[in-house]
């Protein structure tokens, strides 16, 4: 009988081993989830640890809570842009794709294991979902960044395919155990799971954002705890009313993560740690449930099922699901190979054990072995596959500098660490010549582990980390200044006016923002506008439209020079247009005319 002290000791040891496994995984390129499972197996009754553990109910509870926290963390980090860009292909892959994968694998499992068709389909449903979060972990370990469209598709699929696999698993268990009749009852269950999960997830998400922004909790540490409470509440209330708790908790995370609540960065850091702890404990707990001797007995049939799943079921499901979305053949090939299995199938494999489904023990061993094969073969080869298919893109170096500012109020600001690589537009320029929008502050330069308080005469050097404080609205402009030459630039927001100092030179504007203003590169914006408007035309509100932008005079100082210029992005190339309103008092403000926007 294990004492509480022994359990605490074992938990600490398992966490330490999990962290060590992660470091080993990074060096050797072996998928970390494979190592976590192996460590759990070695700690089990047939391994070196000799820990006897066969409590499937407890393992299921640990897996459910851990998966909830992992999904919530994934939702917090899923930008709305990714959802909008990949909703249709990812949603189809997470529904139709999972059903097709489960059907094909289930038919093969029924024939290979010589079990009834419903039990074979149950096994196929258990292994039907893809753990795309494990995919990103493997790719990061291999130093690979994939194309944005593929990344968005996988990111959204990772949070939305688990509910379908869970629904199929639970439905088939109820049919096998005669708890529900096939047909109308299953359809009602499906729509209930989907509708209730979505409604609860969104409602708790928006309600939680209001609480986090408007209720003063008094201590910074309570905000991550409140976010965790909202996640668990979302899962629980959805499950109680017959909905998908996993879908609810993922949607709650998406809403909270994209609405930037108070102490947003602290919430992210807290749940990153919570997700790691959950992942380590979940995989190792599931590893403890396995018996290597039983796995060897089912190795032959499990290998055959894994072969069908990896080389037949997933590719067919991907090609059919994504046929309307014009993916390239090599992209489809990569998505077919990305069907990496994670903790969800093993957790779902405990469901038949708890429901006393015939052959549940064999089903669990088969699923466990399939996950090991998938993690090892697909996980180990994913970086090579991405590179060989030329789907990898150059990624930004991870910043070694991190600044944390704790605020218990809503702050409309960002602190961004820009790495000045060899091709960065800002390299070689003095801070005062960066042509940054008004209100953007270069707060710190970190060079060779030394802190440099920046002044206007300091130059940006290759290898610097430049810490910039800004309003979120001007982020696109500042990103352009610190981007690499030759990069495909993000579109700048139209109809938004960026304040720029009149002393900025045309040369800096053209090179940093990739614009075309004038052949005389030594002119300042003040001199450029004077040249275009004429001596009597330099008044507040006057504007000139160039090839890509419109410059409007915002403020004139006491000496008659243009102090600030408003820069606006035009929708399409237009001939130079001069808007010259009636003369105004110097220093006054006016709204831009419709033609100047």
The three-state (H, E, C) secondary structure of 388-420, written as one string: HCCCEECCCCCCCCCCCCCCCCCCCCEEEEEEC
In a domain, 581, yes or no: yes
- 452 and 527 co-located in one domain: no
Here the CATH number for the domain that contains residue 446 is 3.30.70.1450
In a domain, 172, yes or no: yes
| Domain count for the chain | 3
| Residue appearing with tokens 């010549």 | 433
**Do the Cβ atoms of 425 and 483 come closer than 8 Å?**
yes
- Per-residue pLDDT band for 398 (boundaries 50, 70, 90) equals very low
Average pLDDT over residues 556-582: 67
Highest mean pLDDT among 53-67, 97-111, 498-512: 97-111
Res. 256: pLDDT tops 90: yes
Query: What pLDDT sits at residue 154?
Result: 79
Query: What pLDDT sits at residue 30?
Result: 63
Query: What pLDDT sits at residue 408?
Result: 53
In a domain, 95, yes or no: yes
Query: What pLDDT sits at residue 490?
Result: 54
Average pLDDT over residues 119-142: 75
Gap between the Cα atoms of 135 and 374, Å rounded: 11
Which of 156-165, 362-371, 489-498 has the weakest average pLDDT? 489-498
For 483, half-sphere exposure in the C-beta direction (CA atoms, 13 angstrom radius) is 18
Please, is 576 exposed, middle or buried when counting C-beta atoms within 10 Å of its C-beta (0-12, 13-18, 19+)?
exposed
Q: Give the alpha-carbon dihedral of 257, 263, 267, 270, to 10 degrees.
A: 160
Gap between the Cα atoms of 161 and 250, Å rounded: 11
**Do the Cβ atoms of 208 and 230 come closer than 8 Å?**
yes
In a domain, 12, yes or no: no
Res. 305: pLDDT tops 50: yes
Gap between the Cα atoms of 43 and 283, Å rounded: 12
Query: What pLDDT sits at residue 64?
Result: 85
In a domain, 512, yes or no: yes
Bridge partners, residue 393, by sequence: 145
Gap between the Cα atoms of 425 and 515, Å rounded: 13
- 384 and 524 co-located in one domain: no
- 370 and 286 co-located in one domain: yes
- 59 and 187 co-located in one domain: yes
- 222 and 331 co-located in one domain: yes
Q: What range does the domain containing 297 cover?
A: 55-393
- 417 and 383 co-located in one domain: no
- Per-residue pLDDT band for 55 (boundaries 50, 70, 90) equals confident
- 319 and 419 co-located in one domain: no
Query: What pLDDT sits at residue 25?
Result: 63
Gap between the Cα atoms of 394 and 396, Å rounded: 7
In a domain, 477, yes or no: yes
Of 106, 431, 112, 466, the C-alpha closest to 299 is 112
From 433, 463, 490, the end of a domain falls on: 490
- 221 and 351 co-located in one domain: yes
In a domain, 319, yes or no: yes
Gap between the Cα atoms of 4 and 15, Å rounded: 17
Mean pLDDT of the chain: 80
Res. 433: pLDDT tops 90: no
- 266 and 356 co-located in one domain: yes
Integer Rg of the chain from CA:
29
- 268 and 244 co-located in one domain: yes
Query: What pLDDT sits at residue 148?
Result: 76
- Per-residue pLDDT band for 236 (boundaries 50, 70, 90) equals very high
Res. 289: pLDDT tops 70: yes
Gap between the Cα atoms of 430 and 405, Å rounded: 27
Gap between the Cα atoms of 196 and 532, Å rounded: 61
Q: How many percent of the chain have pLDDT more than 70?
A: 84
Res. 573: pLDDT tops 50: no
From 490, 506, 531, the end of a domain falls on: 490
From 339, 360, 393, the end of a domain falls on: 393
In a domain, 210, yes or no: yes
Here the CATH number for the domain that contains residue 245 is 1.20.1530.20
DSSP 3-state of 22:
helix
What is the number of residues in the chain? 597
- 425 and 523 co-located in one domain: no
Query: What pLDDT sits at residue 594?
Result: 33
Query: What pLDDT sits at residue 597?
Result: 27
- 313 and 431 co-located in one domain: no
């Amino acid at each position: 009988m294990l004492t509480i002290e022994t359990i605490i000791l074992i938990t600490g040891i398992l966490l330490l081993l999990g962290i060590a496994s992660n470091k080993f995984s990074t060096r050797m390129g072996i998928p970390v989830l494979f190592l976590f499972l192996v460590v759990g197996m070695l700690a089990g009754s047939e391994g070196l640890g000799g820990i006897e553990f066969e409590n499937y109910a407890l393992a299921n509870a640990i897996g459910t809570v851990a998966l909830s926290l992992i999904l919530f963390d994934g939702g917090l980090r899923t930008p709305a842009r990714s959802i909008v860009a990949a909703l249709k292909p990812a949603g189809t892959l997470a529904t139709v794709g999972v059903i097709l994968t489960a059907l094909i694998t289930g038919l093969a499992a029924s024939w290979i294991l010589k079990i009834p068709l419903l039990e074979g389909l149950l096994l196929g449903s258990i292994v039907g979902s893809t753990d795309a979060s494990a995919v990103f972990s493997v790719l990061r370990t291999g130093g690979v960044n994939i194309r944005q469209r593929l990344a968005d598709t996988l990111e959204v699929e990772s949070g939305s395919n688990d509910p379908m696999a869970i629904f199929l698993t639970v439905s088939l268990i109820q049919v096998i155990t005669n708890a529900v009749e096939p047909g109308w009852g299953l359809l009602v269950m499906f729509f209930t799971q989907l509708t209730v999960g979505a409604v609860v997830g969104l409602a708790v998400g928006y309600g939680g954002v209001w609480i986090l922004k408007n209720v003063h909790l008094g201590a910074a540490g309570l905000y991550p705890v409140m976010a965790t409470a909202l996640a668990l509440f979302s899962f629980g209330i959805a499950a109680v009313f017959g909905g998908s708790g996993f879908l609810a908790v993922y949607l709650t995370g998406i809403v909270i993560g994209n609405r930037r609540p108070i102490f947003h960065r602290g919430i992210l850091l807290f749940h990153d740690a919570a997700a790691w702890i959950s992942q380590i404990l979940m995989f190792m707990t599931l590893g403890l449930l396995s018996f290597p001797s039983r796995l060897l007995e089912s190795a032959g049939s499990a290998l055959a099922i894994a072969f069908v799943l990896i080389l037949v079921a997933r590719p067919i499901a991907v090609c059919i699901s994504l046929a309307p979305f014009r993916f390239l053949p090599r992209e489809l090939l990569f998505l077919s190979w990305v069907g990496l299995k994670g903790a969800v199938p093993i957790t779902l494999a405990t469901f038949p054990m708890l429901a006393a489904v015939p052959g549940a023990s064999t089903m669990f061993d088969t699923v466990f072995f399939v996950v090991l094969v998938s993690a090892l073969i697909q996980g180990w080869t994913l970086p090579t596959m991405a590179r060989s298919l030329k789907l990898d893109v150059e990624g930004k170096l991870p910043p070694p500098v991190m600044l944390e500012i704790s605020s218990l109020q809503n702050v409309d600001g960002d602190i961004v660490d820009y790495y000045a690589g060899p091709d960065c537009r800002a390299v070689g320029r003095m801070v005062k010549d960066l042509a940054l929008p008004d209100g953007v502050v270069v707060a710190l330069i970190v060079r060779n582990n030394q802190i440099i308080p920046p002044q206007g005469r300091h130059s940006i050097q290759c290898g610097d980390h430049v810490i910039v404080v800004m309003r979120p609205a001007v982020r696109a402009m500042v990103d352009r200044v610190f981007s690499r030459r030759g990069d495909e630039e993000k579109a700048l927001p139209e109809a938004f006016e960026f304040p720029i100092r009149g002393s900025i030179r045309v040369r800096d504007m053209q090179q940093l923002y990739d614009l075309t203003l004038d052949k005389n590169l030594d002119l300042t914006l003040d001199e450029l506008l004077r040249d275009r408007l004429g001596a009597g035309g330099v008044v507040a509100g006057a504007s000139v439209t160039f090839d890509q932008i419109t410059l409007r005079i915002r403020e004139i100082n006491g000496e008659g020079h243009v102090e600030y210029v408003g820069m606006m992005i035009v929708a399409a190339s237009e001939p130079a247009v001069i808007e010259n309103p009636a003369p105004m008092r110097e220093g006054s403000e006016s709204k831009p005319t419709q033609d100047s926007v």
